[in-house]
Structure 1
Amino acid sequence: MSWHHDHKTKEGSMAHPSDGMAWKHFDSENPDFAKEIRNVRLGLCTDGFNPNNSNSIPYSLWPVFLTIYNLPPWMSMKDSFVEVSLIIPGGKSPGQNIDMFLRPLIDELKELYGEGIEVYDAYRKENFIMRVILLWTVSDFPAYAMLSGWSTHGRLACPYCMGDTNAFWLHAGGKTSWFDCHRRFLPMSHPFRTDIDGFRRSTSSLVGPPPELTGWEILEQFSNIPVVYEGVTHPKHKDPKFGKTHNWVKKSIFWELEYWPMLLIRHNLDVMHIETNVFENPFQMVMDTSKTKDNVKARKDVEQFCNRPSLHVSSGNNNKILKPKAAYTLTKKEHTP
């Protein structure tokens, strides 16, 4: 997709909000839909929160927002252009049952894409048949599982590597790790691929990345898995391949949209959680704060899987465990300029 602005106004503002609906109009994957530049592109966002503002009264309320991507960036995120399409009540997260609450919305999206609806363009002062397409969803990682149907827990949590992952278990940390899985995405001639000391001990990476599956190939993977509202959410007898070759728990309701397999990106992670994991955690580690992930358990796992003796923990007086300071952390004197 590409961006285009038909009506230039002073300082990037719009003469009328409906004028901004022509901002984005080209779609190489769906040229018929793109013929009408005012057809609407939507994004769906959801997350749970406690309206009581108190941990002593647990409650999880899930609003589902629709954002309009036709509008330019300085308008699309304004609260006046974000619609609360539905609110999911309940004392806890809806989990995989979220599809039952999304049913009315999906039915409307199917109708708006196929038949469209006659609307009035206040800027051009004319009626036209408007159609609507849902581009993707935006959520955190747990909600990603609820919306996509791919469980984000366990060794196969990555929805892109899917069953073709090199994740392994950290014995001291007690969790799954995807450390060193990234080398497979490098060019085959990259020197990191043959480095047996800088990553996992005595390990090279000579395999390529997992295959990029089309939407139709992904759909084939769970063609025999029922949707939530057709059966039991958590059957007593799970698929014996679950957690071994796949992590599908349901056929998401979004696959009822006829264009869903054609989309290149269906589910996105929101900026807030990317910021936490990509910036805050490394920052806390470099600053060597009490919130650092570089703890004793992590050092014990480093000793088991990596060739980095400078990071190994040792026993001091009274059997106290000593954790040597790492080269990537700052001293107290270096904390301030």
Structure 2
Amino acid sequence: MTKPFMFLTCLIPGPSNPKANIDVYLQPLIGELQQLWSEGALTYDISMKQNFVMRATLMWTINDFPAYDMLSGWSTQGKLACPVCMDGNKAFTLKYGGKNSWFDCHCRFLPHAFRRSKKGFTKNRVVKDEPPILNGEEVWGLVHNIPRVIDNAHTKLFGYGVSHNWTKRSIFWDLPYWKDNLLRHNLDVMHIEKNFFDNVFNTVMNVKNKTKDNEKARMDLAIICQRSDLELVPHNNGKMKKPKANYCLTSSEAKKVCKWIKELKMPDGYASNLARCADVNRGQMNGMKSHDCHVFMECLLPFAFSSLPDHVWKPLTELSQFFKGLCSNTLRHDELVKLGENIPFIKCKLERIFPPGLFDSMEHLPIHLQMMGDFKRTVKNKARVEGSICMSYLHRETTYFCSHYFKTISLFNRSQRNEGAKLNDVVTTTLSISNQLGRSSGKAQTHWLSDAERSAFLHSNSILEEDPISQTRIHGEFPEWFRAYAIDKENGVTDPNLLSLAWGPNSMVKTWHKYYINGYKFHTKAWSQGKKTINSGVYVKGVTGGGENDFYGVIQHIFELEYYKLPHKVALFYCQWSDPRRN
């Protein structure tokens, strides 16, 4: 969603948020949504040059887990915290840990031998099926008699925490179409992913005071599971000794992970500076934000924990791939169905490894998984966060409204990050290779092409489709044949683009250290020395005689070729290639 279409309707201070009473502040918004549905709003259609009545509907809300409580009316605290399973979950309270655990709550989602396993889970066989998911009509049948917050004082309902977790009837049910929506409240996957990652990462790294594998967890483990190798052992001094678990790294291994993160270079703009979070001496990561956890979970976790035993490493890698598939730019229905089928297996594998104390509500929510950043960047006074956001929003909204009355003024002329060449700056030709929306950056250097380089730079692929059988002959003979054929007037070649290619590029070319194209920044390997990020790696899917192959390379030089007669400038990355199939 872009800035002009983001509306700040209500801003609630965090320390004094109204919790369930948020419905009082949402009344104006709900009233406008009801009007948009029943009466509509007169809107001008610029394409048809006429007015029409526009009607709109609220599809769903997107929020983190605590906000789900305030908006939906189902409390996300206690053993009935899951708003999907409701009273059908099997969560229980740990005797020594004192917290609610969703351990062994996922075998019921599987037609699998895990149901009969007593050693890996809670010493009991699972016979129940997964809890049914209620549709909108069924949920409305449960809440229609529950009082609204705006009608009377907020009181705890009979049966709360035992048979249900309803605290109110949400004001969203006042919308006439709300019960017909397939989805009403969506959970923020980044919030769940960060909490899941923090628990798993701190447990594997054995971070003091943050790990879920503490002495109380081992005491609960002895009661719930049959894992004698992990139970506390009496020591000679009268204290209990905690045996090392195979899912925990040693102190030296944890320090190696932090050192690897400290020296790791990632593409520009892909992640923040993770090196600032790595504490090599203590062997732990500190101050990781949501996006840092997002990148680590989906890309780095399989490599960071590669020293773990296979039976531990594989489920963690599958968990990483689950979140990576769920957060991919393109989602297909069949892939989502497969993710939904795989996550119960992954959760059950993790339950056979980690103690019950690890599995709180955040570890349970992925079983159901199917833009505040712009506002946060406007904060200038951290002592008055809400005031800063409001003043910035009002200033931007007023400026944008006034801009409609000044035709020659545009508020959206700032160049985007890593922006290439403007469309108006590129001379369009019939050859796609010459229509690149890229731009060079930095100080140019001059390079004279040798005869061998000029021959290699003749773009035979722009003229002739590749035939795997004759590739050797094409690369060896086609450039000279094409040049002789094109300059022979008897052949009638008059297209200036073909003639320009036939003559080849100028011998004098410019070389650059950086180049921007398609929203990405590329630079040479030499330029990346001493930098915190690296953008010299490239990947190409090529077609050879044996079929499709993946090629990986590192940019050594960036050439900008110019051709005779026509103002063509073609950027060429000179790379050092490696074959992943060989050493």
TM-score normalised over the length of structure 1: 0.71
Equivalent residue for 2:119? 197
What letter is aligned with 2:213?
D
Residues 251-289 of structure 1: per-residue CA shift (max 9 Å, x gap): 100011111111122112223321222222111211222
Q: CA deviation at 1:90?
A: 8.3
1:209 and 2:130 correspond? yes
Equivalent residue for 2:108? 184
1:267 and 2:185 correspond? yes
1:299 and 2:218 correspond? yes
What letter is aligned with 1:271?
V
Q: How many residues were matched structurally?
A: 255
1:218 and 2:139 correspond? yes
SS of the residue corresponding to residue 318 of structure 1 reads coil
Equivalent residue for 1:6? none
State the alpha-carbon separation in 1 of the partners of residues 189 and 14 from structure 2: 26
SS of the residue corresponding to residue 135 of structure 1 reads coil
Equivalent residue for 1:311? 230
Correspondence 1:59-208 to 2 at 5 A = 76=1, 78-88=2-12, 92-122=16-46, 125-187=49-111, 190-201=112-123, 203-208=124-129
Equivalent residue for 1:7? none
State the alpha-carbon separation in 2 of the partners of residues 115 and 334 from structure 1: 65
Equivalent residue for 2:152? 231
State the alpha-carbon separation in 1 of the partners of residues 7 and 222 from structure 2: 51
What letter is aligned with 2:251?
K
What letter is aligned with 1:194?
R
Aligned partners of 1:88 and 1:101 also within 8 Å: no
* Relative contact order higher in (CA < 8 Å, ≥ 6 apart): 1
State the alpha-carbon separation in 2 of the partners of residues 130 and 171 from structure 1: 57
CA separation of 1:319/1:109 partners in 2, compared to 1, >3 Å: closer, same or farther?
same
Unpaired stretches in structure 1, ≥5 consecutive residues? 1-75
State the alpha-carbon separation in 1 of the partners of residues 241 and 4 from structure 2: 55
Pick the aligned partner of 2:172 from 228, 250, 254: 254
Pick the aligned partner of 1:241 from 159, 173, 181: 159
Aligned partners of 2:43 and 2:52 also within 8 Å: yes
State the alpha-carbon separation in 2 of the partners of residues 91 and 299 from structure 1: 35
CA separation of 1:122/1:288 partners in 2, compared to 1, >3 Å: closer, same or farther?
farther
Higher helix share: 2
Aligned partners of 2:76 and 2:83 also within 8 Å: yes
Q: CA deviation at 1:86?
A: 2.0
State the alpha-carbon separation in 2 of the partners of residues 322 and 121 from structure 1: 74
SS of the residue corresponding to residue 130 of structure 2 reads coil
What letter is aligned with 1:251?
R
What letter is aligned with 1:153?
Q
SS of the residue corresponding to residue 96 of structure 2 reads coil
What letter is aligned with 1:197?
K
State the alpha-carbon separation in 1 of the partners of residues 14 and 88 from structure 2: 36
Identity %: 51
SS of the residue corresponding to residue 7 of structure 2 reads strand
What letter is aligned with 2:29?
L
What letter is aligned with 1:300?
M
Aligned partners of 2:149 and 2:169 also within 8 Å: yes
Q: CA deviation at 1:122?
A: 4.4
Aligned partners of 1:299 and 1:311 also within 8 Å: yes
1:332 and 2:256 correspond? no
Aligned partners of 2:157 and 2:166 also within 8 Å: no
SS of the residue corresponding to residue 127 of structure 1 reads strand
Aligned partners of 1:288 and 1:329 also within 8 Å: yes
CA separation of 1:158/1:90 partners in 2, compared to 1, >3 Å: closer, same or farther?
closer
Residues 75-126 of structure 1: per-residue CA shift (max 9 Å, x gap): x2x3343210122458611011000100000010111122211222446654
State the alpha-carbon separation in 1 of the partners of residues 197 and 242 from structure 2: 24
State the alpha-carbon separation in 1 of the partners of residues 241 and 49 from structure 2: 74
Pick the aligned partner of 1:284 from 185, 202, 213: 202
Q: CA RMSD in A?
A: 1.9
Which one has a bigger Cα radius of gyration? 2
CA separation of 1:322/1:81 partners in 2, compared to 1, >3 Å: closer, same or farther?
farther
TM-score normalised over the length of structure 2: 0.42
CA separation of 1:216/1:299 partners in 2, compared to 1, >3 Å: closer, same or farther?
same
What letter is aligned with 1:331?
T
Unpaired stretches in structure 2, ≥5 consecutive residues? 261-583
Residues 23-75 of structure 1: per-residue CA shift (max 9 Å, x gap): xxxxxxxxxxxxxxxxxxxxxxxxxxxxxxxxxxxxxxxxxxxxxxxxxxxxx
Aligned partners of 2:65 and 2:76 also within 8 Å: yes
Residues 222-271 of structure 1: per-residue CA shift (max 9 Å, x gap): 2221000111112xxx4332211111111100011111111122112223
State the alpha-carbon separation in 2 of the partners of residues 210 and 287 from structure 1: 35
